Every structure is written in C-alpha cells, then in structure tokens.
C-alpha cells in the first residue's frame, strides 16, 4: 500500500462521509436526523452517530 493510504482521514473526508450517510438516511426515512457525527475510532473503525432519528 502507498504511504498515503495509511494516513488517517482528515476532517473534510469525515464530513463528506457524514453528509452521505445523512443523505442515505433521508432517502430511506424521508427526513434527516437532528444531529450526526462521524468519527474514526482506533484507526480502523468508522462510527456515525445520528441523533433525533425517532422523534
């Protein structure tokens, strides 16, 4: 693997992933979550936490 592939994603990459996951939620549930945050945990786990999806 190239060295660039081993670098953690920056804020712009996490924001883009977050935006796509919110769009996916909107597509299937016809509404956006109240809040959403995507984080890289431990270098190998990507987690997106959405709030207000049931209200």
For the segment 36-49, the average pLDDT, to the nearest whole number, is: 93
CA 32/CA 55 separation, integer angstroms: 11
- Show the tokens assigned to 54: 């049931």
CB 48 within 8 A of CB 9: no
Return the half-sphere exposure (C-beta side, CA atoms, 13 A cut-off) of residue 13.
Answer: 7
pLDDT at residue number 1: 42
For the segment 31-45, the average pLDDT, to the nearest whole number, is: 93
Mean pLDDT, all residues of the chain: 87
pLDDT at residue number 43: 81
pTM of this structure: 0.77
The rounded percent of the chain whose pLDDT value lies above 70 is 82
- Whether the per-residue pLDDT at 21 is higher than 90: the answer is yes
């Amino acid at each position: 693997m190239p060295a660039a592939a081993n670098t953690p994603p920056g804020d712009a990459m996490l924001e883009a992933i977050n935006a796509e996951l919110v769009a996916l939620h909107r597509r299937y549930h016809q509404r956006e979550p109240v809040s959403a945050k995507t984080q890289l945990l431990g270098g190998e786990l990507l987690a997106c936490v959405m709030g207000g999806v049931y209200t």
